C-alpha cells in the first residue's frame, strides 16, 4: 500500500517529469513514506530529490520561546533555497501529518507573522505555485498525535493503522490500480465542469438551516475546474490527494451575506469551530467563533486580500470521505467531505486565459490576491445552491446537500 501511495503521489500528484527535481516537505514522523516517494521519483528519472524535514515539537518550542519580532524576518539561506527551487522548476510535494492541537495556546499572531514574512520573502517560489508555473501536491500521512485525535479510543498503533487505512481508501490506493483509478476519477469531473462553464452564471445563492444566506458573484469568463489542473507547460497533475471538489474563483467584490461553518477548521495546530463570517460588497465586515476566535481573526487580518474570498468549491454531502464517517481534523481531507469556501488568494486557472496572466492582470479581472489561502467547510445535508444566469434564469446546482444535475 505504501509503495502504491508513493507511486500515486509521484506520477499523479506532482506528475514528475524526467530530469526534474522533486522537493519534499514532511514531518520527521513520515520518513518511511518519504523514502518510498524518493525511490519512485528516481525510478521515473528525477534529477534529484531534496527532503526538508520538520518537527512540530521543535516548532512549538520556537514559538513559545522567541518573541514576535523574531518571526518577522526570514533568514537569507531560506529565501535563496526556496526561490532557487522555483527558478529550477522543481516539483513540490508537501506531506501533512500535523497534530490538530500542536499549536494550541500559541499566540496566533506569531504564526501569522512568520507565514506572512515567508510568503513575502520567498515570493518567487510561491508565485510559481500560485500562478500554475510549477507543479505541487499536498498529501497526508499519519502521525501518532493526529491518529490519536481522529481515533481517541484506540492504542497508538491501532490508531495509526486505522488512519492509514482511511487514507488508502479515500486516495483509492486500496484499489488494484490506483493510477488508473485516478485517471477515471479525473474524467468523472468533466461533465459537470463542462455544464457549469457553459451556463454563463452571474451569481450563486447559498442557503441552509444553520443560517447561511450568501450571494456570490461570478467573474466574466469564469472557469470551473475539478480534480486536477494544468501548469503553464501543459502538464496535468493533482495538487490535492485526495480531492472530490469542483471549484472556481469568484468575483472578489461581489460577495454579500452571512455564512456559517459546518465543520471544525484546523489551522496551524489550532481548532476554530462554530464560526460565522459576514460579507458586504466582497469584504469581510464581521465574524464570530465559539472556539478559536483569535486564530480566525489572525487569518482574516493577514493582509487586505484575506478579507475577501478566493475560492468556491462544490463537494456533495454524499462524498466518499463524508461517507467514511470520520472527522479528520485536517483541512486537506475534511474539505473534500464538504462544500467549502476559501479566504484569500484565488486561482489563475479559474478564468479564461488566466494561466497567461500575472497577478495584477488577474486582480483586474476580479480574482483575489493575498498572501494566504484558507479553506473552511460550509456544506450541510440541507445546503441549497441556486445559480442566477446572465439571462435571468435560475439553475439549481445543489439541492439537499448534493448536486441537482
Secondary structure in 3-state letters for the chain: CHHHHHHHHHHHHCCCCCCCEEEEEEEHHHHHHHHHHHHHHHHCCCCEEEEEEECHHHHHHHHHHCCHHHHHCCCHHHHHHHHHHHHCCCEEEEEECCCCCCCCCCCHHHHHHHHHHHHHHCHHHHHHHHCCCCCEEEEECCCHHHHHHHCCCCCHHHHHHHHHHHHHHHCCCCCCCHHHHHHHHHHHHHHHHHHHHHCCEEEEEEECCCCCEEEEECCCCECCEECCEECCCCCEECCEECCCCEEECCCCCCEEEEEECCCCEEECCEEEEEEEEEEECCEEEEEEEEECHHHHHHHHCCCHHHHCEEEEEECCCCCHHHHCCCCCCCHHHHHHHCCEEEEECCCHHHECCHHHCCHHHHHHCCCCCCCCEEEEECCCCCCEEEEEECCCCEEEEEECCEECC
Q: Percentage of residues in the chain with pLDDT exceeding 90?
A: 98
Q: Is the pLDDT of residue 269 over 90?
A: no
Q: Percentage of residues in the chain with pLDDT exceeding 70?
A: 100
Q: Tens digit of pLDDT for each residue in 192-246?
A: 999 999 999 999 999 999 999 999 999 999 999 998 999 999 999 999 999 999 9
What pLDDT shows up at residue 185? 94
What pLDDT shows up at residue 17? 98
| Edge-to-edge strands, sheet with 136-140 | 48-54, 21-27, 91-96, 136-140, 240-241
pTM comes to 0.91
What pLDDT shows up at residue 91? 98
What pLDDT shows up at residue 160? 98
The domains of the chain, with CATH numbers, are 2-170 (3.40.1830.10), 191-403 (no CATH)
**For residue 4, what pLDDT band results from cuts at 50, 70 and 90?**
very high
> Per mean pLDDT, which range of 23-32, 142-151, 227-236, 302-311 is the poorest?
227-236
Q: Is the pLDDT of residue 268 over 90?
A: no
What pLDDT shows up at residue 207? 98
Q: How far apart, in whole angstroms, are the C-alpha atoms of residue 314 and residue 277? A: 19
**For residue 341, what pLDDT band results from cuts at 50, 70 and 90?**
very high
Q: Tens digit of pLDDT for each residue in 377-396?
A: 999 999 999 999 999 999 99
Q: How far is CA 301 from CA 61, 234, 279, 282, 344, in A?
A: 25, 35, 14, 15, 10
Amino acid at each position: 500500500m505504501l509503495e502504491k501511495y508513493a507511486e500515486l503521489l509521484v506520477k499523479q500528484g506532482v506528475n514528475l517529469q524526467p530530469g526534474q527535481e522533486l522537493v519534499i516537505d514532511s514531518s520527521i514522523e513520515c520518513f518511511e513514506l518519504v523514502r518510498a516517494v524518493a525511490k519512485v521519483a528516481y525510478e521515473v528519472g528525477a534529477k534529484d530529490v531534496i527532503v526538508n524535514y520538520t518537527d512540530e515539537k521543535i516548532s512549538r518550542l520556537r514559538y513559545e520561546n522567541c518573541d514576535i519580532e523574531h518571526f518577522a524576518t526570514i533568514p537569507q539561506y531560506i529565501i535563496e533555497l526556496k526561490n532557487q527551487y522555483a527558478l529550477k522548476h522543481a516539483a513540490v510535494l508537501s506531506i501533512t501529518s500535523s497534530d490538530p492541537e500542536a499549536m494550541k495556546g500559541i499566540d496566533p499572531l506569531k504564526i501569522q507573522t512568520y507565514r506572512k514574512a515567508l510568503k513575502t520573502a520567498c515570493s518567487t517560489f510561491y508565485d510559481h505555485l500560485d500562478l500554475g508555473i510549477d507543479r505541487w501536491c499536498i498529501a497526508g500521512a499519519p502521525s501518532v498525535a493526529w491518529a490519536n485525535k481522529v481515533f481517541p479510543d484506540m492504542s497508538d498503533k491501532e490508531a495509526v493503522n486505522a488512519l492509514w487505512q482511511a487514507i488508502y481508501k479515500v486516495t483509492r490506493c486500496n484499489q488494484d490500480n490506483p493510477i488508473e483509478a485516478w485517471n477515471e476519477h479525473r474524467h468523472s469531473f468533466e461533465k459537470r465542469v463542462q455544464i457549469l462553464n457553459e451556463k454563463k452564471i452571474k451569481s450563486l445563492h447559498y442557503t441552509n438551516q444553520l443560517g447561511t444566506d450568501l450571494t456570490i458573484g461570478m467573474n466574466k469568463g469564469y472557469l470551473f475546474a475539478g480534480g486536477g489542473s494544468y501548469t503553464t507547460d501543459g502538464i496535468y497533475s493533482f495538487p490535492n490527494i485526495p480531492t472530490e471538489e469542483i471549484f472556481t474563483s469568484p468575483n472578489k467584490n461581489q460577495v454579500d451575506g452571512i455564512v456559517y461553518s459546518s465543520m471544525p477548521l484546523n489551522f496551524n495546530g489550532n481548532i476554530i469551530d462554530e464560526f460565522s463570517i459576514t460579507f458586504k460588497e466582497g469584504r469581510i465586515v464581521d465574524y464570530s467563533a465559539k472556539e478559536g476566535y483569535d486564530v480566525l481573526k489572525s487569518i482574516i487580518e493577514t493582509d487586505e486580500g484575506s478579507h475577501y474570498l478566493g475560492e468556491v468549491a462544490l463537494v456533495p454531502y454524499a462524498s466518499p470521505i463524508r461517507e467514511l464517517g470520520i472527522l479528520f481534523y485536517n483541512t486537506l481531507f475534511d474539505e473534500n467531505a464538504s462544500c467549502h469556501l476559501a479566504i484569500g488568494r484565488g486561482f489563475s486557472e479559474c478564468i479564461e486565459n488566466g494561466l497567461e496572466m500575472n497577478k495584477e492582470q488577474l486582480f483586474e479581472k476580479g480574482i483575489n490576491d493575498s498572501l494566504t489561502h484558507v479553506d473552511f467547510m460550509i456544506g450541510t445535508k440541507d445546503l441549497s445552491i441556486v445559480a442566477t444566469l446572465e439571462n435571468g434564469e435560475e439553475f439549481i446546482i445543489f439541492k439537499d446537500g448534493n448536486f441537482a444535475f
